[in-house]
Structure 1
Amino acid sequence: MADNKRSDVGELRTLLRRPDVQRDPRKYLQAVQKVIACMTLGIDVSKLFSEMIMAVATPNLVQKKLVYLYLSNYAQTNSEVALLTVNTMQKDCQDRNPVVRGLALRSMCSLRLPSLLEYLREPLQTGLGDRSAYVRKTAVMGIIKVFYIAPHFITELNLVDILYQMLRDKDPQVVSNCISVLDEILAREGGIILNSKIAHYLMNRLRDFSEWGQCQVLDLLTRYSPNSNEEVYDILNVLDDRLRHANLGVVLGAVRLFLHLTEHMPHLHKDVHDRIKVPLLTCLGSHSPELVYTCLQHVQLLLAKETSSFFDSYQTFYCRYTTHCNGPRDKLLFLSEENTGIYHTSI
């Protein structure tokens, strides 16, 4: 078996070096695809590093992606030879096509070689200010890769402050990436430090984010402490429509934030529970057992604080006749007016 693998690698090397293959872009691409196919099958093709470096200088975007994938996978085992790719990558970081610029920058960060950090300085800083949102978000994620190689590099380039400034980027995906990266870099300090300006800016832009981004922002906002009761009321009004979102993650994120903001305002607890009750009951009508189970767990926690919240909706918790039971361990959740809370009964 080992001999067969060695012969395969030798054949691939011969194929990549053939002049007729190098002159024909289609055949050359097919040869590169064969190398990547072997790599994905677990065959060690690291000995083809020199040949694959030659294949990166191409206008073919598919071939360039494949070669960059190969280089990222084997750069650490060929660190000295990997220096030969720097010039091509730096050139691609200045390409007219934003896809090429982003691909080159991502690949440079993925090489994870301390010896290449100096070459990465200028492309990374340029990428953070690129006119393309794709390149900017790629550059932001590249920072965390660099952070785990050389944390001092982040401090030298003042990248934390730059990321804080990019929280106001016009593209919501770039902002989401900044939140993730800052939280990871500043994990020892407790994550992102939220002030009033950042918190309100994110709240006002919440609708622009994807569903995942909204969950991320709502979770981040639980760290913010409003300065007055009036500010709490304003925040609740701004986020009220998130309780009616189609995505359960967004709804539960908003529920958590509502409860957090009113934790020390007992006079609002009943109003808040009444406001979040309808979205939770709506989620209980889902056809997904996993989503229903998640909602029930949230209801159970709410009942520990406000036992009468769902008494008038007890019918919702009866087992539906369409529910498929998988065995005696299935449970029925119901409310009892005689005994507060949620109880489990075997079906």
Structure 2
Amino acid sequence: MSDAKYFQRGKIQELRAELNSDKKDKQYVKKKTVLKKIVANMTMGNDMSPLFADVVDCMKIPVLEIKKMVYLYLINYSRSKPDMAAKAVDAFVKDAEDANPLIRALAVRTMGYISVDKVVEALVDPLRQSLRDRDPYVRKTAATTVAKLFMHDKELVESEGLIDKLRDMLTDSNPTVVANAVAALTEISERSDQIQLKLNMSIASKLVAALNDCSEWGQTYILEALMFYVPQEMGDAEMLAERIAPRLQHANSSVVLTAVKVIIYLMNYMTKDDEITAMCRKLSPPLVTLLSSGPEVQYVALRNILLIIQRRPEVLKNDMKVFFCKYNDPIYVKLAKLEIMCRLANSTNVDQVLSELKEYATEIDVDFVRKAVRSIGRLAVKIESTADRCIAALIELIQTKVNYVVQEAIVVIKDIFRKYPNQYEVIIGTLCENLDNLDEPEAKAAMIWIIGQYADRIENADVLLDDFLYCFLDEPVEVQLALLTATIKLFIKRPAAGQDLVTKVLKWATEEVDNPDLRDRGYIYWRLLSTDLAAAKKVVLSEKLKISTESENMDPMLLDELLLHVSSLAAIYHKTPQTFIHHTKVRRLIPSPVLNRKVNGTSTSIQIVNGEPSRTPDSNARTNAAGASERTSNNLLLDL
């Protein structure tokens, strides 16, 4: 709060006069005060660029606090004043040789932020010196600066051999320096079309050894880099996974999830089933622990867990109770837990799950109740032995006469009828008692489908359909399509009862509606009925494909890619990074002699082995996003 007084609009002339005052200021107190005012005004959006030359003159003051404020000012205005920024090059170079390591690091880092050609050119020599500086803080700052410089001038970084310098830093004695070098190399690899990071077993082992002495974020960087290691021999993946496993007990959720990601990745290269099973058991406790964190961390964990259990269902298979919803869980956490409960449900725990779902269906939150009712239907479709109990639970819910519960129950009962034809038709009478409560398109369409499908068993099916047809032209397309097909089914099964209705519906569908799908379907039905009633019967009453919950499973290729992005936004959105971040490289499982999953894709690579580049065909390189053409890429093989 003591600095709040500086956040007042100041006049350029007054600030310049104070900054250039000749009064004695041994401790530079007045300079600090004026610079704080300038930075505060800059933060508020006031234009302080006219003071550029005056602020640059303050770079010669050997006080760290003043230099920080001057550098912050330079970073902010260097784009609008590139010529003035170039005049500060000499001061930057001088600071890069200062006796104070904090000033040396600050100078190099600030130059990396200023995207002015003269500053970038002048940065190379100080940066090269900083990469081998005696102080680890300077070295780790310089490593990060190489990545920043790469974003501005890729060719300069490659021609000056700075990437090789980063590679050499992976053997640094300081783990923080190693972590920053790894982070920089990973960033460069992700942003370059020609360079791909590729670790060998030796480097991977050294990185794992550095984990114990790194900060939590350093551990995350190193674990992330291990995703670029491709096991080539039996036992390599198992050994590396065992060494990473202690990170699963870390207090930081980012470290835990990144460790989970690396282990899930390494499982693709494990050859022994018992090793994979044992590793899956080790993954369960840390994931359960994450669910005792705050709701935001819980949600991130749940979205990642949903991906993991689709590939490795044995993870968390015995931990169903941790996914039971608490009364104070936010709705987004509750919905995520419901999804996981349905996927983990099996014949041994289904009674517990069904009991919980019935309780959730009586809650107040409408969205949560709908999801719970739909989940009961999914259980019935997924586990045949529990279908009877699920139907009984749905009937109980329908009898509550709560509008949205009744409608959701009818929607899922339609799926159950499709899954188990001719088994539960006895409840149709109960469903028909609730027709007046239907006002949602999906529920209406489901009920109409049931009436049409069992038109030969429902005595007053023609009356029920006629009631729905009263507002045919005003209904949504989904309901209109259901009505059209149900009426045709009624006519085929009971021609006398459906004669009048079918003529009326076909006339509306072909002459008075604008939707092309509905109109085309109407014409097809009309012509079928007019030319060949037997053919119409085969088409309309053909055997439906069996419904199953497998249709809700994610595409295997998409799942494989998302599992390589666990602990990132991609795993939360369940979308590949390319859909929301441009120019992102596609990740694929890289082929190797021990890969137990088939992966395609070949390209040409440059491997740097013992400092000598050699071009070789490399089937281990990534394919491009579209897979339409192969590109020539450089593999940065870190082989020390």
Question: TM-score, normalization: structure 1?
Answer: 0.86
Unpaired stretches in structure 1, ≥5 consecutive residues: none
**What amino acid maps onto 2:284 in structure 1?**
K
Task: Measure the CA separation in 2 of the matches of 1:62 and 1:7.
Answer: 21
Q: Does the 8 Å contact 1:137/1:174 carry over to 2?
A: yes
- Give 2:221's match in structure 1, choosing from 207, 210, 216: 216
Matched, 1:274 2:281: yes
Q: How many residues align structurally?
A: 340
Which of 231, 240, 246 matches 1:235? 240
Counterpart residue type for residue 296 of structure 2: E
1:338 equivalenced with 2:347 (yes/no): yes
Of 201, 212, 217, which residue of structure 2 is paired with 1:196?
201
Change (3 A) 1:120 1:287: closer
CA shift digits 1:207-226 (9 cap, x unpaired): 22222222222222223222
Decide which moves more: 263-272 or 92-101.
Answer: 263-272
- Structure 1 residue 199: Cα displacement: 1.0
**Structure 1, 110-119 or 130-139: larger mean CA deviation:** 110-119
Alpha carbons of structure 1 residues 28 and 249: separation in structure 2 relative to 1, 3 Å: closer
**Which residue identity does 1:316 align to in structure 2?**
V
State the alpha-carbon separation in 2 of the partners of residues 115 and 311 from structure 1.
Answer: 60
1:123 Cα offset (Å): 0.9
Shift in alpha-carbon separation, 1:22–1:111, aligned structure 2, 3 A: farther
Name the counterpart of 2:324: 318
Structure with greater helix percent: 1
2:346 aligned counterpart, secondary structure: coil
Which residue, out of 110, 115, 118, partners 2:121? 118
Q: CA deviation at 1:23?
A: 7.3
Q: What's 1:180 paired with?
A: 183
Question: Structure 2 vs 1, CA of residues 236 and 141 (structure 1 numbering), >3 Å: closer, same or farther?
Answer: closer
Contact 2:325–2:334 (8 Å) recurs in 1: no
Could you tell me whether the CA contact under 8 Å between 1:222 and 1:260 is conserved in 2? Answer: yes
Sort the Cα spacing of 1:52 and 1:228 in 2 relative to 1 into closer, same or farther, 3 A: same
Asked if 2 retains the 8 angstrom alpha-carbon contact of 1:16 and 1:22, the reply is: no
1:300 aligns with 2:306: yes
Q: CA RMSD in A?
A: 3.0
CA apart distance, 1:308: 5.5
CA displacement, residues 262-309 of structure 1 (integer Å, 9 cap, x when unaligned): 22536233322222222223333x141223333333443343345465
The 8 Å contact of residues 186 and 225 in structure 2, kept in 1 or not, is answered as no
Shifted more, 308-317 versus 101-110: the winner is 308-317
Distance across 2 between alignment mates of 1:282 and 1:328: 19
Return the alpha-carbon distance in structure 2 between the equivalents of residues 144 and 328 of structure 1.
37
Is this contact kept in 2: 1:15–1:21, CA < 8 A? Answer: no
Aligned to 1:161: 164
Q: 3-state DSSP class of the match of 1:14?
A: helix
**What residue number does 2:32 align with?**
29
Q: Structure 2 CA distance, aligned partners of 1:308 and 1:19?
A: 75
Letter in 1 for 2:126: P
Residue type matched to 1:53 in 2? V
Alignment CA distance shift 1:233-1:302 (3 Å): same
Would the aligned equivalents of 1:182 and 1:191 in 2 still touch at CA under 8 Å? no
- Which amino acid in 2 is paired with 1:304? Q
Q: 1:326 to 1:186 in 2, by over 3 A?
A: closer
- Cα gap change, 1:96 to 1:281, in 2 (>3 Å): same
Structure 1 partner of 2:290: 283
For residues 303 and 116 of structure 2, the distance between their equivalents in structure 1, rounded to whole angstroms, comes to 46
Q: Distance in 2 between matches of 1:141 and 1:167?
A: 13
Cα separation, partners in 2 of 1:255 and 1:186, compared to 1, 3 Å: closer
Relative to structure 1, is the Cα distance of residues 180 and 318 closer, same or farther in structure 2, using a 3 angstrom cutoff?
same
Give the Cα–Cα distance (whole angstroms) in 1 for the partners of residues 76 and 315 of structure 2.
Answer: 55
* Bigger relative contact order (CA 8 A; separation at least 6): 2
CA deviation digits over 1:146-167, x for unaligned, max 9?
2233222112210111111111
Greater mean deviation of Cα atoms: 40-49 or 7-16:
7-16
Alpha-carbon distance in 2 for matches of 1:24, 1:221: 49
1:171–1:319 distance in 2 versus 1, CA, 3 Å:
same
**SS of the residue 1:192 aligns to:** strand
Partner amino acid for 1:338?
S
From the superposition, tell whether residues 8 and 123 of structure 1 become closer, same or farther in structure 2 (CA, over 3 Å).
same
- Taking structure 1 as reference, are residues 308 and 148 closer, same or farther at Cα in structure 2, changes over 3 Å only? closer
| Residue pair 1:112, 1:145 contacting (<8 A) in 2 also | no
For the 8 Å contact 1:194–1:224, the answer to whether it is kept is yes
Shift of 1:327: 6.0
Task: Identify which of 11, 15, 18 aligns with 2:14.
Answer: 11
1:50-71: CA deviations, max 9, x gaps? 1112222112221121112112
Aligned to 1:76: 79
Structure 2: which amino acid aligns with 1:72? I
Q: Which amino acid aligns with 1:33?
A: K
**Aligned-partner Cα distance in 1 for 2:289–2:39:** 48
One-letter amino acid of the structure 2 residue matched with residue 324 of structure 1: N
Inter-partner Cα distance in structure 2 for 1:22 and 1:122:
35
| Residues 319 and 71 of structure 1: CA distance in aligned 2, closer, same or farther (over 3 Å) | closer
Contact 1:211 1:250 (C-alpha < 8 Å) held by counterparts: yes
Equivalent pairs: percent with the same residue?
Answer: 31
* Contact 1:106/1:142 (8 A) holds in 2: yes
Q: Quick check: 265-274 or 83-92, which moved more?
A: 265-274
Mapped partners of 2:147, 2:290: distance in 1: 36
